[in-house]
Each structure stands twice: as C-alpha cells, then as structure tokens.
Structure 1
Amino acid sequence: MLKHIHLENFKAQQATDLDFSKINVLTGFNSTGKTTVIQSLAFVKQSLQKKELSFNDYLLRLGDYREVVSRHDTDLPIRISVTLDGDAEELQYSLEASMGGVVESFAVDGEEGWKWDSRTDGAVEASGRLFFPIAAGGYGGGVFTSPDPAKTMQEQKRTMGWFENMLYLSSNRGFTKYNYPLLAGKPTVEDISNRTGDSSALEEWLSNLIIYRINEAKRYPAMEAQLDRMTDRLSSLGVEISPYVMSGPSVVIDLAESGMWVSAVNSGYGVNQSVASIVLGSLSEPGSLVMIEEPETHLHPRFQRAMAKILADFTKEGKRVLITSHSDHVLQELRKLVLAGTVPEEDVKVYHFAKEDRITRASEIDVTDEAALRELFS
C-alpha cells in the first residue's frame, strides 16, 4: 500500500515529499497543487499501462512535456518516485522523464534490483518507452542488478498490480445510458477506446467497471458482504441503484427515489455523482488506493459528514484513501472519528497546500487540532 511519494518538477511540485497513512486528505486554496499529487500517480498508471510516457490518455490530458514540467523549463527532468508497503518488503518504483529520454528503477528495501535507461549508448528503443511493465511480465527489458532476479520480477509484478488496481475519480460521476456492450470480463480501457474514441473512454470504462464489479459481487457468495456494505453506504446518502443492460445493447444505471425508478441524469448532482466513488470504493480489492477529488462535491453538509465516514470505512477493508477536499465538514468529521477512537490517529494524515512564487509547499496538520482545522477555512 502507498507509503511515500517523491515529486520533482512535476507541475508546481518542484521538490515534494509526502508520507501517507490509511486516510490522506490534501486541502488548501484552489490551484495550490493538491490535484497535482493525485495526477502524478494517475500519470504513472496510464504510462505504465501504455508502456510509454503518456501525458494524454484516458485518465489525464496534461498537454506536452513543456506544459507539465515545472516553470516550463524543458532542461529540467520530471522525477516521480512511489514507495509501497509490501507484505514484508518496501517496494519503490522511480521514473525520471526528460526531453532526452526516460530512466526507470525498482528497489526492494532500498536496494536497487532493476533499471532501464533509454539514454544508454546503443539503446534503440523510443525515448519514451517504459520497460517496467514488460520486465514485470517476465519478458525481459532493462537490467536486473539484484542477486535474485526472479524475486525482483515477482515484486515488480505485485507493484504493477497495485498501479492497475488504483482507482482515480477526478470527479464523482453518476452514469446513465452508454452505447457500449457490457464485457464478459473486467473491462479494459483499450477495449472501450477502440470502440468509442478517447473523448468518452473514461466515462465508458467507469460505467462498465461499476456494472462489472456489481455483477461480480452478485455472482460470488464470498463478495456478498461487500455488496451489502456498498448498499448500506449508498443508503446513508439516500441512494439505491439498479444497474442493468438494455437491448441495444446499452448500460443503464437508475436510481430509486421512494420506490420509483429515476434515470441518473434526472437525479440531483450530489447523489448522482457519489455513486461511482461508493460503488467502486466498496467493491475494490484490499490493498487498493482509492483516489477521489473533492468527494463532498454537491453534497449537503450532513451527507459530506456521511461521506467522511464511508471513506474511513474503506480503510477497515484494507484499502487506502487519498482525497482532495475543501470541506470543513469532512475534516471535522474525521477529527471526531479519531477522538472517539473509531479511527486511530496515526491512520489519518492531513496536508495543507500553499503556493508561493509558483512553487507548492505542503505542511502537515494535526487532525485532532480543531483550531488548526478551522483556521484552514477562515
């Protein structure tokens, strides 16, 4: 699970190090770099899945290198390093991107075990090619420096699985009709984008992923408890859902209000846009990172507090949560959960972001300090 992230020259993050726990909240004024942290992880995920640097794909559209690198200085490298807690080891994947090529490395407990450098003399691969997912798949690529390459490859595969299971919701979405057949297996972005085009790939993928996960939970009795928890969480926001596949075929998700079915597009934004986070967060795999930008969006203060409790519940199932938030209600509810002993204090980290001269700086805030939390919004 996510333990630490190091960022250099990624947008406004010139030199940022953040430690993570189970529940992580990034707060601060608009445009201070909160989303940038989440985007850095999404950028790595979509790049690894494409096996090449991918600034513009289904999760993110960031522009070109010049637009992404700090101060638009193309002489600077972008560095992103992600550290995970393994079962017994600490796993670290590092990516350095520059106009001249890419450098990847993978370490176990601080000892480098694998490396790829496109700038090496004689390298004939494209400068933006990533070899980590290829090596993790057992197909070679890069150089193993570990005395036990087989074990390193196994840890690489686990790390790739962690990135693939990462859930990123740039806004909470409700879903209605999509002209796309429901896949028998877990939907891939490639399958969807090949049929629908990039403009709707994310929405199509998330819609089909929701249906897939719900149907999977219905098929397997062992997942029944997850489905029940998902239903209870939606109910705490006054939501019932009815997903099904129409002839056409199309995927449809309806909401229920007082026993009457209502198309998701005709429901309120707050309810509509919370469905994706609660369904996918509830049914995601243990060990997954659930990233949501402003989960309180369009919600009444009472439901914002309920959402904070739901996010805390995710962590009891072995997941980690990373959100951006502008909500005093979310932070104060987390504070109450900690003070009540429902959530251990060490399980919550709150970072306040501020920008000075186009450089983001993050400072940690004590979640139990009511005055400090209120000052954030004064």
Structure 2
Amino acid sequence: MLEHIHLDNFKAQQAADLDFSKINVLTGFNSTGKTTVIQALAFVKQSLQRREVSFNDYLLRLGDLREVAYRHDTSTPIGIDIAVRIDGEQLGYRLSVGEDGVEETFAVNGEDAWRWDSRAEGVIEASGRLFLPVAAGGYGAGTYLTDDPAATVARQKKLLSWFENALYLSSNRGFTKYNYPLLAGNPTIEDISNRAGDASALEEWLSNLIIYRINESKRYPEMQKRLDVMSERLRMLGVEISPYVMSGPSVVIDLAEDGMWVSAVNSGYGVNQSVASVVLGTLSEPGSLVMIEEPETHLHPRYQRTMTRILSDMAAEGKQVLITSHSDHVLHTLGGLVKDGDVARDDVSVYHFEKRDRITHADVVDVEDDNALSALFE
C-alpha cells in the first residue's frame, strides 16, 4: 500500500508531503496541485516501464522538463519520493530529474539500499536512463549499499510489480474514437494497438480485457466471482455490459439502458465515463493502487453517491483508492460510511488543496465533520 509521497518542484507542487490510507480523496480548488500528485505517480510508472525518464508516453503527455518544473525553473531538479508497504516492509523509491541527469535511490524501511546517479564521475550512460528496472532484473546496475544485494533485488522486484499493477484513470475520457492511454493487466493497451492499429478505442480494449477475463474464469473460478461483482456494480449505475467480437480483430461493447441496447460510444458521458472505472477497478488485483481523477464526472448526484460506495467496496477488497474530486456528494457519502461504521475512520484520508501566497497547501479534513465538509464548497 502506498504510505507516503513527497514532491519537490513538480508541476504545481513546490513541496508536498502526503500520507495515505486505504481510501484517499484530494479535493480543493482548480489548479492547486491535486492532479499533480496522481500524475507524479503515473510519471514514475511509465518511466520505470520505459527504463528512461518519459514525460510523454501512454499514460501522460507532460511536455518536457521545463514544462514540468515548478514555475518552469529547471535550475532545481524535480523530485519524487514514494514509500510503499509490501509484505510488512516499507520500500521506497526516490527519483530526481534535472538538466544534468537523474539520480535514483531505493530504500528499505527508511535505509538506503541501492543508488544510481548518472551525474557521478566516470558514468557514460545516457543521462535520462533509469536503472532500477535493470537492477531488479539481477543485472547489477547501480551501487548496492547493503551486505545482501540479492535480498535487495528481490525487494526491488516487488516494488516494480506494485507499479505495474497501479491503475491510472484520467477524467473526461469515456468511450471515444481516439486512443485511450491506460494499462490494466492483460491484454495491455499496447497489445491491442499492435493488433488493431494505433486508433484503437477504449471500448475495444475494454472488451478484449473483459473477454480475456471471461476466458480466464473458465480455468480459475475465482475470476468469475470478480466478474459477477463487476456486473452488479454496473447495474447499480443503471447499465449492463456486453462485449462481443466483430469481423477481424475488433471487439466492441454495447450497453443496455432500460432494456435497450446502446453503443458505448453513443451512450451518455456519465455512463461511459463510469464503466471504465468500475470495470478496471473491480478487475484489478488486491494490493493495487486505483487512481481515478474525478470519478463523479458527468454523473447525477445519486450516482455520485453510488460511485463512492463502489469505490469504498473496492478498498474493502484489499485495493487502495486515490481520487481527486470536486463533489460534496462524494465527501458527504464517504463521511456517512465512516459514521455508520461501514468504513474505518483510520482507513480514510481527505486533503483540501488551496493556494496561499501562491504556494499550495494540503490541509487534512475530518471526513466525519459535516460542517467542515460543507465549508469546503461554500
């Protein structure tokens, strides 16, 4: 589980320190750095997968270092420090990116265990290349700072696996005719692109993923239970989902609304925005981090409350949920779940983002305090 993130000079955040629980909500005013926190995690994920600093890839397109650096000042490196608890140990990864190269550090329970610095004397590798994935493969990259490098490698593999399973869903996407940059298990979005061309739509990829899981359930009955939960959650939002294969490699989704079949592409924004969140969040593995920007987008208030309950149920399944939200319905529903005992108080963290003197501050909010929650939206 993600326990902590520290950001330096990354986009809207000059300096940020956030602790996380099972369910986490980042709320507050526009352009105060809520999305920045999630994008920092997605940026590290896609960079580790590419084994190099990747500002523009399948999850995010951020521009370049100058665009990402706080106030466009590249004289100070951007820094991202992430702490994750896996199998009872805290595993940390720090990434520093500047004009003169990168530095990576891997830590175990707060003690540095491995380091790579492209700026060190005598290094001839490309300055933007990342070596944690290389080291985790057992190829000895970087410098080990412990007496047991093999144990460090095993821990590095665990952290990389956690990043692989992390799910990032950007808002305002829905089913479109254009690329939808996501990744969530097999098949990957890249697999679909390779088979069907670069213009593969979200519905095609989701259908492939669902059919893959349906076939998987024939071998592993536990998967069928997850598919049943997925279907029930979609019904809570008023839709049914039906993937089917067309001619060639194409696979598409239809949605049933009030008994009538509607192409997912032509369905309402609220529906097709929510289907991806429900499907991918439900089918993600326990231990995964599920990041969703504004899951309430285009939803009626009743369905905003329903979506909040669905997200809390995902957390009860052993997943960690991190969302940004502008909805008082989301926060009040979450507060009600805590007060009713359906969600443990310690399992919820809410931060309100606000700029004061041009500096972003993230203040902790008591989710059980109705007056405090209402005051956020006055």
Common fold by TM > 0.5: yes
Q: Distance in 2 between matches of 1:365 and 1:135?
A: 40
- Partner AA of 1:377 in structure 2: F
- Structure 1 residues 107 and 7: alpha-carbon distance in aligned structure 2, compared to 1, 3 A threshold: same
Contact 1:189 1:201 in 2 (8 A): no
- Partner AA of 2:278 in structure 1: I
Residue 274 (structure 1) aligns with: 274
Residue 142 (structure 2) aligns with: 142
2:92 is equivalent to residue 92 of structure 1? yes
Q: CA offset at residue 37 of structure 1? A: 0.3
- Partner AA of 1:297 in structure 2: T
SS in 2 for 1:274: helix
TM-score where L is the length of structure 2? 0.93
Q: CA offset at residue 175 of structure 1? A: 3.8
- Structure 1 residues 262 and 202: alpha-carbon distance in aligned structure 2, compared to 1, 3 A threshold: closer
2:230 is equivalent to residue 230 of structure 1? yes
2:104 is equivalent to residue 111 of structure 1? no
SS in 2 for 1:15: strand
2:159 is equivalent to residue 166 of structure 1? no
Contact 2:213 2:223 in 1 (8 A): no
Residue 182 (structure 2) aligns with: none
Q: CA offset at residue 353 of structure 1? A: 0.3
Q: CA offset at residue 29 of structure 1? A: 1.1
Q: CA offset at residue 147 of structure 1? A: 1.3
Q: Distance in 2 between matches of 1:320 and 1:164?
A: 14
List aligned pairs for 1:286-305, cutoff 5 A.
286-305=286-305
Deviation track 1:51-101 (CA, whole Å, cap 9, x = no partner) reads 000000111101010010011111011110110111121110110110000
Q: Distance in 2 between matches of 1:95 and 1:213?
A: 35
Q: CA offset at residue 354 of structure 1? A: 0.7
Q: Distance in 2 between matches of 1:326 and 1:285?
A: 27
Q: Aligned residue pairs: how many?
A: 373
Q: CA offset at residue 212 of structure 1? A: 3.3
Contact 1:245 1:252 in 2 (8 A): yes
**Structure 1: gaps spanning 5 or more residues:** 180-184
Contact 2:107 2:113 in 1 (8 A): yes
- Structure 1 residues 199 and 145: alpha-carbon distance in aligned structure 2, compared to 1, 3 A threshold: farther
SS in 1 for 2:13: coil
Q: Distance in 2 between matches of 1:327 and 1:296?
A: 7
Q: Distance in 1 between matches of 2:227 and 2:187?
A: 19
Q: Distance in 1 between matches of 2:337 and 2:114?
A: 42
Q: Distance in 2 between matches of 1:263 and 1:310?
A: 24
Contact 1:177 1:252 in 2 (8 A): no
**Structure 2: gaps spanning 5 or more residues:** 180-184
SS in 2 for 1:377: coil
Contact 2:204 2:252 in 1 (8 A): no
Contact 2:3 2:83 in 1 (8 A): yes
- Partner AA of 2:148 in structure 1: D
Q: What is the aligned-residue RMSD (CA, Å)?
A: 2.1
Q: CA offset at residue 40 of structure 1? A: 0.2
List aligned pairs for 1:72-221, cutoff 5 A.
72-171=72-171, 173-175=173-175, 186-194=186-194, 208-217=208-217, 219-221=219-221
